[in-house]
Structure 1
Amino acid sequence: MTAVLVLLALTAVGTVVPAPVVALGPGPTFDTLGEVEGTPVVSAEGLPTYPTTGHLNMTTVGVTDGISTLRALGMWASGTYRLAPRWSLYPPGESTEQVTQANQQEFDGSIANAEAAALTHLRLPTRVTVGALTDGSPSAGVLEPGDEIRAVGATPVTSVQGLLDAMGTARPGQPVTLTIRRGDAAPRQVAVTPAAHPDDPARAFLGITPATSPAEGQKLTITLGDVGGPSAGLMFSLALVDKLTPGPLTGGRFVAGTGTIDAEGRVGPISGIRFKMLKAREVGAQTFLVPAANCTEAAEDAPDGLRLVRVGTLDEAVGALTTLDTGGTPAGCS
């Protein structure tokens, strides 16, 4: 009788008491060529757009928090989920809200990079704008997000790299004159006194995140709520390229994928690729775009019927889809 009571007590505790772990598994997937709650995921204004077909699905990793010990064990035993220490996603001293905010900032950064990469790939005219100000930025009160930076001193600025090069001669503590345009107002000059760069005290630091934006009168919009992190960047860029060029990039295929992207179009690795592939295959994807650095891992866990395509840059991803459409064989993972 005592043993039964103990077993019942342990079962009750295992059912109620949260385990110090989170379960990672397949998360939601969204077609970047489609709509979510009636709003296009990707859209463009002031630029010619073209019809698209097929799918370009971005994939996510689902995180289940606040689970009991027994439920955690059941999820692990299913083989679909992996358990991770809760602190690995929610570090001690950081609230859930702070973690969510950090994920949102990464997501916003991935949107900016996706737009810049697509604009560069398409060779469209661009402007350099202020994407965000860092905490304690020396530009606070002078620059605002969205400001266009046209020149540093007498040096015209036409790219983010051009801005960085122009700032190369500036010194911390010495005012720099910037020519900016805010909204529809006329261009004007402002003075910013840069601080010392956190990574190199000899370098001048404006305390801004520069962004590559479309030409005046043009606008790109990427909208997808309740998703955080940077790993949708590649699929966002591909959706923009598809909508801004004639002919369907997918050839009508159901393509899914993942990968971070930087402003130059380089595709970076992600975590949880097994879960993303499982979800992609579950919803009907036939082709999955894999960051080159994830290829070995992906090849070991790929579901049956899912073709893996290796990509290291946005140019390679576009080229791979074009190769598929013309009956060729793009680079895979092995």
Structure 2
Amino acid sequence: MPRRTATMLASTLVLICLLIAGVLIPVPYAEMSPGPTVNTLGEARGEPVLQISGRKTYPTDGHLNMTTVRVTSADYKMNAVEAVYGWLAHDNVVVPHDTLYPDGKTEEESSQENAEEFSQSQESAKVAALDELGIPFTTRVVVASVVKDSPAEGTLHAGDVIKAVDGKPVTKPADVAAQVTKRKPGDKVEFTIVPAAEAVAAEKAHKEPTATRKVSLTTVKSEEGDRAIVGIQAGTDHVFPFTIDIKLADVGGPSAGLMFALGIVDKLTPESLTGGKFVAGTGTIDDEGKVGPIGGIRMKLVGARSAGAEYFLTPAENCAAAAGDTPDGLTLIKVDTIDDAKKSLEKLRKGDTANLPSCSKD
């Protein structure tokens, strides 16, 4: 066999072996790519994303699209060829598997965590929106969770409203811990509560629950020290004067909070927020209306522009990364709070685009 032919054959065999190895050998990476966007003012799977009853709503136009990122599942075994392709693809990002699924987190655990964050983001979006509109509502302290095999197990339940501890009214979760830790391990502590079932019934009727009962628990010593505990995590719950339902399946995480809040504001406001413009965006939101950063900003920009968005509401902490890789035809608008976003949309509606707060690479 001529040397040149042998060399070409050997090279071809080596290449084939490398390709087979690349396909068969898994690598510890995962991939993120642009996901679908959903107009919070519109419908998803045939029903309105935002459903408000018990309060007058107004027609809306334009778009306020929340954006998403697709990620490979926790148990997906990426091969070397896929990793290289992902690195070369502009719209995709290949990251270490542990970045998306730290500490060996399973797909089920990750999905549960994302569902909980999504639920909390919806609650905070409602709070921020009603606060922005000056619509009053009630905030109460509740049992968020009960520790297994703790003094509270079987006596207190998630959703129970905590009115007082040892006769002292509580107005925030920290008040509960403050009262319990005044006791020594082994002491009795008295909770005044409204059982969860009665609280839910009152909430559905948009009323404040009044039927209370007292329960006594014996404190134990915390594993972290000598302080007294009863084995609960206190949290907050809100009672709104009308019903706000957010209907959106197969979405998780907290990053749609801002867009949900703006959608609620738009539906409860006579004047259109967008003026008919196609606006997309992202960002977490807390009960005070503060907008927080999110992951996957580049892919969300690509997804928004592909859907037709012309403007993108961008959390301030994501601005530098977003400004470094913005799709053509998409204008970034920097936001720190829901009020910032609302004021920027007012400028956009009036055509004052030159004074919109912008993002820079610095």
Q: Structures share a fold, TM > 0.5?
A: yes
SS in 2 for 1:22: strand
Farther-moved stretch of structure 1 (283-292 vs 242-251): 242-251
Q: Which residue of the other structure, out of 124, 128, 140, is the alignment partner of 1:128?
A: 140
CA shift in 2, pair 1:134/1:146, >3 Å: closer
Q: Give the equivalent residue in structure 2 for 1:95.
A: 106
The alpha carbon displacement at 1:9 in A equals 2.2
Where does the alignment leave 5 or more consecutive residues of structure 1 unmatched?
Answer: none
Corresponding residue for residue 287 of structure 2: 263
Q: Secondary structure at the match of 1:109?
A: helix
Alignment of 1:207 onto 2:232: yes
When normalised by structure 2's length, the TM-score is 0.80
Q: CA deviation at 1:201?
A: 6.8
Alignment of 1:210-289 (within 5 A): 210-215=235-240, 218-289=242-313
Q: Is the 8 A contact 2:35 2:70 kept in 1?
A: yes
**2:303 and 2:234 mapped to 1: Cα distance?**
34
Whether the 8 Å contact between 1:142 and 1:190 is mirrored in structure 2 is: no
- Secondary structure of the structure 1 residue equivalent to 2:102: coil
Corresponding position of 1:19: 27
- Once the two structures are overlaid, the 10-residue window that deviates more, 194-203 or 61-70, is 194-203
Summarize deviations over 1:260-296 as a string: whole Å, max 9, x none: 1111111111121111111111111111111111112
User: How many angstroms apart in 2 are the aligned matches of 1:96 and 1:282?
Assistant: 28
Query: Structure 1 length normalisation: TM-score?
Result: 0.86
Runs of at least 4 residues off by over 6 Å: 194-201, 203-206
Could you say if the C-alpha distance between residues 199 and 323 of structure 1 is closer, same or farther in structure 2, counting changes exceeding 3 Å? farther
Distance 1:331 1:239, change over 3 A: same
Residue type at the aligned position of 2:144: A
Cα offset, 1:169, TM superposition: 4.1
1:134 Cα deviation from its structure 2 partner = 5.2
Distance of aligned partners of 1:301 and 1:205 in 2 relative to their CA distance in 1, 3 Å threshold: farther
Secondary structure at 1:302's aligned position in 2?
coil
Give, in angstroms, the shift of residue 110 of structure 1: 1.5
1:31–1:56 contact (8 Å) kept in structure 2: yes
Verify: 1:177 aligned to 2:191, yes or no: yes
1:138-157: CA deviations, max 9, x gaps?
65434444444555565666
1:61-80 equivalent positions in 2, closer than 5 A: 61-64=69-72, 65-80=76-91
> Taking every aligned residue pair, what percent have the same amino acid on both sides?
42
Q: Which runs of 5+ in 2 are unaligned?
A: 1-8, 203-209
Cα distance in structure 1, aligned partners of 2:245 and 2:56: 14
| DSSP-derived class of the 1:249 partner | coil
SS where residue 215 of structure 2 aligns?
Answer: strand
Instruction: Show CA shifts across 1:158-194 (max 9, x none).
Output: x6x4x54476444355524324242337521233647
State the AA in 1 paired with 2:232. G
Mapped to 1, the partners of 2:144 and 2:231 lie a distance apart of 11
User: Secondary structure of 2:279's match?
Assistant: strand
Instruction: Describe the shift of the 1:32–1:257 C-alpha distance in structure 2 as closer, same or farther (beyond 3 A).
Output: same
**8 Å Cα contact 2:60/2:266 also seen in 1:** yes
- Correspondence for 2:154 among 141, 166, 189: 141
Contact 1:44–1:221 (CA under 8 A) maintained in structure 2:
yes
Bigger-Rg structure (1/2): 2
Displacement after TM superposition at 1:121 (Å):
1.9
Q: How many Å separate the matches in 1 of 2:315 and 2:54?
A: 32
The DSSP-based 3-state class of the residue aligned with 1:224 is coil
- Among 301, 319, 335, the alignment partner of 1:295 is 319
Does the 8 Å CA contact 1:116/1:212 hold for their aligned counterparts? no
1:51 and 1:86 map into 2 onto residues whose CA distance is 44
Task: Name the count of aligned residue pairs.
Answer: 330
Paired AA for residue 141 in structure 1: G
Q: What code does the residue aligned with 1:133 have? A: S
Q: How far apart, CA to CA, are the structure 2 residues paired with 1:200 and 1:240?
A: 45
SS at match of 1:301: coil
Instruction: Give the alignment's Cα RMSD to 1 decimal.
Output: 2.9
Evaluate the alpha carbon distance shift between residue 139 and residue 245 of structure 1 in structure 2; reply closer, same or farther with a 3 A threshold. Answer: farther
Once the 2 structures are TM-superposed, how far is the Cα of residue 17 of structure 1 from its aligned partner?
3.4
The answer as to whether partners of 1:289 and 1:317 remain within 8 angstroms in 2 is yes
Measured against aligned partners, the alpha-carbon deviations of 1:276-334 in whole angstroms (never above 9, x if no partner) come to 11111111111111111111221111122211111111121112212221233231212
Measured after TM superposition, the shift of residue 257 of structure 1 is: 0.6
- Confirm or deny that 1:4 pairs with 2:15: no
The residue type equivalent to 1:76 in the other structure is W
